[in-house]
Amino acid sequence: MFAALNIRIYGGLVGPLNTARPPMPSEWLTVISTQLFDVHHGLVAYAPVWLSGFAGLVIGTIRRARLATQGLVLVGVGLVTAIGVFPGECWPARFWVQFVPMLSVGLCEIWSLCKRPVVKGVTTLLLAWSLVNTVFFILHPNAFLENRQTGTTYQAIYDQIGGINPALVVPFERPLFEPSSEIIVLGGAGAVFVAFLVVAARRRDALGIVPLVMLLAVLDLMRVKPFEDSEITVISSPASAHIKLATPMRAGFLQFGKNFEVWHTKDNLRAFTVSFGANRRQVPANQVQFLSCGAGSDVISVEAPPDFNVAEQVGFRLKVYQSKSVILRLYERARERC
């Protein structure tokens, strides 16, 4: 039946032409981290509660729970064989659907067997975050298909309730030969988070403070306040845009353009030159750009290659957010200059 359906739908036994291949051993870290955290396909990017699921599988295995041990083995095998490279157009966590039964076992393990209040508190926060995305998915499933290089759904939630805006900080998928250091750091941080969750659940509740602090730090980095339209002056052309703010800021985010488009791909490594104060850098083309200047600045400039119309994109959407993060504020004050 499967063969007949495959031939009927795709015209062959091998499936669609864009079938994603499993990563090579040298690509495991980058690909797995990307498929966990990136804005297009990331599992943890939208359902962070499964971090507790990973931890629960390890805890259950240590306690010799057979179902948890089987789940951990299956997850380990799947990580290096079932997670593909560049999965293409799809809803988030395409490859992770097959992992959900095993991770559900882990989540039940950490919830039912662990009596540590801090560990349960962290899991509850992650669950609440995941449920917000679940409700939004039920109401607007097709909106998640627009999360290509920026978090369109997170932006829609922020526009309604304000506060924190994950759309500004969740990284986007980059070609394998142009790896993102942010993705690698997030992959490592995720592993540390799970490890301390396991240790805290097994040994000492005090160690649960580490994943709690990590989670609070992430939420802090997402705290922003938008500039009002009346506080922004824009002069744009097809090649560039120059933005003047009513008041200087030390750290923040520039968000512009059609959020459903893909600007930077393996076939078109388009780059922008972004200037903020004395800080001038070349960055991959994306709808969100981080701005940083320890001395503070009120001028932002974006220059783009000839195949990109900056004026058209700025006319579609332009927002500037001032970071309210305590961490970034302390970091910028320590730098004192751009």
120-166: per-residue pLDDT in tens?
889 999 999 999 999 999 999 889 989 989 999 999 999 998 889 99
Whole-number pLDDT of residue 75: 92
- Spell out the domain ranges in the chain: 2-221, 225-335
Rounded Cα distance between 89 and 190, Å, is 25
pTM of the prediction?
0.86
- Token pair for 14: 């091998």
What pLDDT is stored for residue 19 in this prediction? 54
> In this structure, are residues 227 and 84 in contact, taking their beta carbons and an 8 Å threshold?
no
Compute the distance between CA of residue 12 and CA of residue 74 in angstroms, rounded to an integer: 29
- DSSP, residue by residue, 191-221: HHHHHHHHHHHHT-GGGGHHHHHHHHHHHHH
What pLDDT shows up at residue 119? 86
- Whole-angstrom distance, CA of residue 140 vs CA of residue 128: 18
Residues 6+ apart with CB under 8 A from 268: 307
**The two structure tokens encoding residue 311:** 């004026």
Where does residue 301 rank: exposed (0-12), middle (13-18), buried (19+ CB within 10 A)? middle
Residue 18's pLDDT is 47
Structure tokens at 188: 């490592």
Separation in Å, CA 7 to CA 86, 135, 137: 23, 35, 31
Which residue ranges of the chain lie beneath pLDDT 50? 15-18
| CA–CA separation, 156 and 149 (whole Å) | 15
Task: Decide if 246 contacts 270 (C-beta within 8 A).
Answer: no
- Is residue 133 within 8 A of residue 50, CB to CB? The reply is no
Largest CA distance in the chain: 66
Give CA angle at 197 (196, 202), nearest 5°: 95
Domain 225-335 has CATH 2.60.40: no
Residue 159: predicted pLDDT: 92
- The whole-number pLDDT of residue 17 equals 45
Tell me how far apart the alpha carbons of residues 164 and 251 are, in angstroms, rounded to a whole number.
15
Q: How far apart are the first and last CA of the chain?
A: 62
